[in-house]
Structure 1
Amino acid sequence: MHIPNNAYVAVADGEKLQLYRNDGDAGTLDLAEMQVPEVDGDNKGSGGRHSSSSANPSDSQQDEDGFAAGIAAMLNQQVMAGHIESLVIIAAPRTLGEMRKHYHKTLSAKLLGEIAKDLTGHSLKDVAATIAAH
């Protein structure tokens, strides 16, 4: 996957978000870690619709879903404010599925790609290698 200069890469799971910007160009990936804006994880609106082993999802799963929704809301805000022109999202599969439910059409238009993989806590080298492989 080729990522243009100043494109953002969000790496997330249900508890953590890392944000990077490509300081290189489409041919040379040079990721720089960015400060993550505050994420409001209180959005648990869709948590009750997930199937789980019981009728009610666990509180921890609702918290993770709320955090995923909060990430999407923050990214929506950043895109609509013009701070993010292009974006790649790498997230744990369940987190990515929850985030997709909350994408604004403006974010969807700026989305270069998604990778369903849990890379939170991995090195910058691992993130770059995963992007290069897609």
Structure 2
Amino acid sequence: MLLPHGTVFAIVDGEKFELYRNTGIEAEPRLEAVPIPELEATNFSAGVYDHDRVSRFTPPAPKNRVARLDEAAHVAAVADWLNSQILAHRIDKLVIVADPRSLGEMRRHFHKEVERVLVAEVPKNLTGRPTAEIVRVLHG
């Protein structure tokens, strides 16, 4: 896959968010880290556990369900931030690399303009990996 100069790479999972920009050429990308914005995970609408509706007879949500709600809220915050950057024309080429669950949740929150700038979606978890490995996976 050719990765145009200036392409922004969002590497996401349920807890982490990394940003890179291709400062190299299409055939030989060089990813440079971009500062990560402060995100506030406030969108918990992806889940079904509503704290306001829980009666005293309802057992508490299992820890894994609460963790999934936290992850979904984080991913929704990333999607909302990407939407804002795309709508403000600060991102004009985007590659999203995320584990399948996070990628699916992000798609639920994307503005229709994301399709216009999306170069590729890669359903893999590559957070915390070296940029050389990310490039190798994208070229593979």
**Same fold at TM > 0.5:** yes
- Equivalent positions of 1:93-132 (< 5 A) are 93-132=100-139
Cα deviation code 1:19-62 (max 9, x no counterpart): 0000012111111010011222111112229xxxx899711100
Distance 2:15 2:62 in 1: 23
Larger radius of gyration: 2
- List structure 1 runs of 4+ shifted beyond 3 angstroms: 54-57
Which residue does 1:63 correspond to in 2? 70
1:73 pairs with one of 73, 80, 87: 80
Equivalent residue pairs, number: 129
- Equivalent positions of 1:7-26 (< 5 A) are 7-26=7-26
Distance 1:57 1:126 in 2: 30
TM-score by length of 2: 0.86
Q: Cα gap change, 1:37/1:55 in structure 2, threshold over 3 Å: closer, same or farther? A: closer
Distance 1:29 1:112 in 2: 14
Distance 1:44 1:108 in 2: 24
Percentage identity across paired residues of the two chains? 36
C-alpha RMSD of the superposition: 1.8
Letter in 1 for 2:103: L
Distance 1:93 1:25 in 2: 28
Which residue does 2:47 correspond to in 1? 47
Greater CA deviation, 15-24 or 119-128? 119-128
Distance 2:38 2:92 in 1: 19
C-alpha displacement at 1:123, in angstroms? 1.1
Q: 5+ unaligned residues in a row in structure 2: which ranges? A: 50-60
